[in-house]
């Protein structure tokens, strides 16, 4: 359990939140939502003890261990990836290394050393130290870092995968309280699905800051809304919170309107009869009644919606882009092969496909940022392209020479200062914001500035690569609204299913098996036709990854050509073993699901003794471990059986 009482945080004269008294309970997962800059990350840092509140207290159970995901905890890039993941359990990790150091000394029979080894052994056992390495490896695998890399240095990973290792560090420690600030950053669909599963089975307290509404809907049981200079908890995931908050606001506004109407009626009576002797007493009574009526003053929401607006300066030709026989490889990795595409004026094309298939590369080839190995890409007549790259910071200067205003002004040289400030204001840059150095902008601010540039330049073709990255929910909704009314041609890549479903009228699907499929219709229509190609649905993508993994193991086993012809009896024996393992796995999964059902019962954690809850959690963990072991045996038997059948064929 973790709680706060009368908590407040001020930045100068600005109030982020105040008077916050909340309790976060075991078995609940809270999505922490609010506008950029509202104080979500600050609140997590205060709960973690990383930042001081202006006033108030944070209360944490003394036995609780807190795991806090932040973006700057790397101590050394020379440490192995596995060690980095294990370091989250600081006491246990330190005890393991101290024990190894003592055992390496020549005089381990010394009484003092022996006593210390006993203390360390007890600490390691009680903290699950002997399972820590296996757990860390499992989490790293789940987050997309294969075991073949675990012993390598952290520096061998790209920046995005280093952040995955940092997330693994928090999760592998199995803390009692999880504080996660944007955990899905730099994760692909499969890793996000794995994280969803991890959090859904997590039985501690979790607070999660995220702008991914799909992720929040999948994992959260409650929503902590940072708004109106306070924090309010709603029961339910993000979609339910959104409805409940709007309903609550509407009820308050209706009540205020009713009270104001009542006051107006009484004031009219007083004004009409205050000078009339026969009505003086009633008029005075109305005055007293007015004084007793309390009209609630609604606070101003911190949520701000930018007003993106994209227009085209002129029409392009009917044929906007022609891509012919394009191929591209990075070393041995062939990402595009024989791609043909004709984009016509006013189309809205979404490029979809699994990670690493070449979607961003295709956009880069189209805009001339990358040269194809073969084939050609050519824009049509009178085409004016506006490009939003996945790393949109590459369009912005890193130095402090340009401010937000001066940088945008250079793309609208004929505009007045007032007009430039108008563009910036619509993208939520106001007052002192316009004088901020471009190199100091956050990811969300930088994205909004690039959109301001696209508004100024008025291209008739927009090429957008993951445009929702770094945007808050309000900005994503505003972007969809602006692109829906844009009268030019749209070509884009996005992992956000809601975003794609709202905009696309044509789908270009890239697959390793079938190459390119060009589908004329919306994404929902595409999915209705090809359920197995729902690249933006995590369940479908995860299942596909599992099938590829099994197929890979099967191919690996059969390619060694070490199988010798065996009688049918051997195949029957393997099939019998396989059936038995399948039944065991199904039974274990049913038992784990039954415990899940208990956890989901209304008031379970309130009416159940902590020891009983802990026992059920340990039982479920063992069941899940047995399921994982059973799945490995299942895959082994499948591979062996496939090898026998291939040999027989």
**Looking up tokens 């693994």, which residue turns up?**
168
pLDDT band at 641, cuts 50/70/90?
low
pLDDT of residue 560: 35
pLDDT of residue 534: 59
pLDDT band at 9, cuts 50/70/90?
very high
CA distance 408 to 97: 54
The SS3 assignment for 179 reads strand
Tens of pLDDT, residues 152-194 = 888 887 667 888 888 998 998 888 999 999 888 777 766 888 8
pLDDT of residue 542: 53
- Domain parsing of the chain, residue ranges: 2-242, 319-539, 560-648
Give the single-character DSSP code of 293: P
Tens of pLDDT, residues 392-437 = 777 888 766 889 999 999 998 888 989 999 999 999 998 888 998 8
Tokens for 26, please give them. Answer: 């075991």
Is 2-242 assigned to CATH 3.40.50.970? Answer: no
Tens of pLDDT, residues 220-259 = 999 999 999 999 999 999 999 999 998 988 888 888 888 8
**Is pTM beyond 0.85 here?**
no
- Nearest CA to 221 out of 210, 233, 231 is that of 233
Mean pLDDT, all residues of the chain: 83
pLDDT band at 74, cuts 50/70/90?
low
User: Poorest-confidence range of 26-40, 252-266, 357-371, 417-431?
Assistant: 252-266
pLDDT of residue 324: 93
pLDDT band at 308, cuts 50/70/90?
very high
pLDDT beyond 90 at 504? yes
| CATH fold label, 319-539 | Rossmann fold (3.40.50)
pLDDT of residue 114: 75
Tell me which range, 8-12, 121-125, 461-465, is most confidently predicted by mean pLDDT: 461-465
pLDDT band at 546, cuts 50/70/90?
low
pLDDT of residue 402: 87
pLDDT of residue 20: 93
Tokens for 228, please give them. Answer: 């109106």
The SS3 assignment for 63 reads coil
Tens of pLDDT, residues 586-611 = 777 778 777 777 766 766 666 777 67
Tens of pLDDT, residues 76-101 = 678 889 888 888 888 888 888 778 77
**35 vs 644: which has the higher pLDDT:** 35
Sort strands 205-209 and 348-353 into parallel, antiparallel or unpaired.
unpaired
pLDDT of residue 558: 41
The answer to whether residues 99 and 78 touch, using CB atoms and an 8 Å cutoff, is no
pLDDT beyond 60 at 59? yes
pLDDT band at 540, cuts 50/70/90?
low
**211 vs 209: which has the higher pLDDT:** 209
pLDDT beyond 80 at 548? no
| Dihedral over Cα of 82, 88, 92, 98: its sign | positive
Show Cβ contacts of residue 93 under 8 Å, excluding neighbours closer than 6 positions. 83, 86, 87, 129, 132
**200 vs 593: which has the higher pLDDT:** 200
% pLDDT > 70, the chain:
87
**107 vs 520: which has the higher pLDDT:** 520
Q: How many other C-beta atoms can be found within 10 angstroms of the C-beta atom of residue 167?
A: 25
pLDDT of residue 635: 67
CA distance 521 to 513: 22
SS (H, E, C) 214-274: HHHHHHCCEEEEEECCEEEEEECCHHHHHHHHHHHHHHHHHHHHHHHHHHHHHHHHHHHHC
pLDDT beyond 80 at 106? no
pLDDT of residue 320: 95
Average pLDDT over residues 458-475: 91
**551 vs 478: which has the higher pLDDT:** 478
pLDDT of residue 219: 93
pLDDT beyond 60 at 647? no
pLDDT of residue 561: 32
Instruction: Determine if residue 221 is left, alpha or beta; phi over 0 gives left, psi from -120 to 50 gives alpha, anything else beta.
Output: alpha
The SS3 assignment for 194 reads helix
The SS3 assignment for 359 reads helix
pLDDT beyond 50 at 564? no
């Amino acid at each position: 359990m973790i709680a706060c009482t009368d908590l407040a945080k001020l930045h100068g004269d600005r109030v982020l939140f105040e008077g916050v008294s909340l309790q976060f309970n075991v078995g609940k997962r809270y999505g922490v939502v609010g506008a950029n800059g509202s104080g979500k990350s600050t609140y997590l840092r205060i709960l973690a003890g990383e930042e001081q509140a202006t006033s108030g207290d944070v209360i944490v159970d003394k036995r609780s261990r807190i795991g806090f995901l932040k973006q700057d905890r790397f101590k050394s890039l020379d440490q192995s990836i596995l060690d980095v993941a294990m370091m989250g359990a600081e006491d246990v990790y330190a005890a393991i290394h101290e024990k190894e150091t003592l055992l390496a000394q020549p005089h381990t029979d010394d009484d003092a050393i022996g006593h210390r080894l006993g203390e360390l052994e007890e600490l390691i056992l009680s903290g699950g130290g002997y399972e820590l390495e296996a757990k860390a490896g499992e989490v790293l695998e789940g987050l997309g870092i294969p075991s073949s890399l675990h012993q390598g240095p952290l520096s061998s990973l790209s920046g995005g995968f280093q952040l995955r290792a940092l997330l693994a560090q928090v999760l592998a420690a199995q803390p009692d309280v999880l504080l996660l600030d944007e955990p899905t950053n730099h994760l692909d669909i499969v890793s996000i699905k794995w994280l969803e599963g991890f959090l859904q089975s997590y039985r501690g307290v979790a607070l999660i800051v995220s702008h991914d509404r799909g992720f929040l809907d999948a994992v959260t049981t409650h929503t902590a809304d940072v708004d109106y200079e306070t924090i309010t908890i709603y029961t339910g995931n993000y979609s339910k919170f959104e409805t409940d908050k709007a309903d609550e606001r509407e009820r308050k506004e209706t009540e205020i309107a009713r009270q104001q109407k009542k006051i107006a009626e009484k004031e009219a009576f007083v004004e009409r009869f205050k000078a009339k002797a026969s009505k003086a007493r009633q008029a005075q009574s109305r005055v007293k009644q007015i004084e007793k009526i309390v009209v609630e003053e609604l606070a101003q929401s911190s949520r701000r919606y930018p007003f993106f607006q994209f227009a085209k300066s002129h029409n392009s030709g009917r044929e906007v882009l022609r891509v012919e026989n394009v191929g591209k490889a990075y070393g041995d990795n062939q990402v595009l092969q024989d791609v043909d595409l004709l984009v016509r004026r006013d189309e809205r094309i979404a490029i979809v496909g699994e990670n690493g298939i070449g979607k961003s590369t295709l956009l880069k080839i189209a805009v001339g940022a990358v040269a194809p190995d073969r084939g050609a890409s050519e824009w049509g007549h009178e085409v004016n392209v506006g490009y939003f790259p996945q790393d949109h910071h590459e369009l912005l200067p890193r130095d402090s020479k340009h401010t937000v205003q001066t940088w945008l002004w250079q793309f609208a040289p004929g505009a007045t200062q007032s007009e430039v400030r108008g563009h910036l204001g619509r993208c939520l840059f106001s007052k002192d914001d316009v004088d901020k150095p471009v190199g100091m902008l956050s990811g969300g601010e930088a994205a909004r500035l690039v959109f301001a540039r696209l508004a100024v330049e008025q291209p008739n073709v927009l090429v957008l690569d993951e445009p929702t990255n770094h945007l808050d929910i309000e900005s994503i909704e505003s972007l969809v609204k602006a692109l829906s009314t844009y009268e030019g041609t749209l070509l884009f890549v996005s992992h956000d299913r809601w975003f794609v479903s709202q905009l696309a009228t044509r789908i270009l699907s890239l697959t390793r098996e079938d190459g390119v499929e060009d589908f004329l219709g919306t994404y929902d229509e595409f999915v209705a036709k090809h359920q197995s190609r729902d690249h933006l649905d995590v369940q479908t993508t995860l299942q596909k990854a599992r099938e590829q993994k099994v197929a890979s193991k099967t191919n690996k086993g059969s390619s060694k050509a070490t199988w010798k012809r065996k009688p049918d009896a051997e195949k029957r024996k393997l099939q019998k073993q396989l059936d038995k393992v399948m039944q065991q796995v199904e039974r274990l999964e049913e038992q784990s699901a039954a415990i899940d059902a208990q956890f989901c019962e209304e008031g379970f954690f309130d009416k159940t003794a902590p020891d009983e809850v802990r026992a059920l959690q340990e039982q479920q963990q063992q069941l899940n471990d047995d399921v994982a072991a059973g799945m490995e045996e299942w895959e082994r038997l499948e591979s062996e059986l496939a090898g026998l059948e291939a040999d027989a064929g």
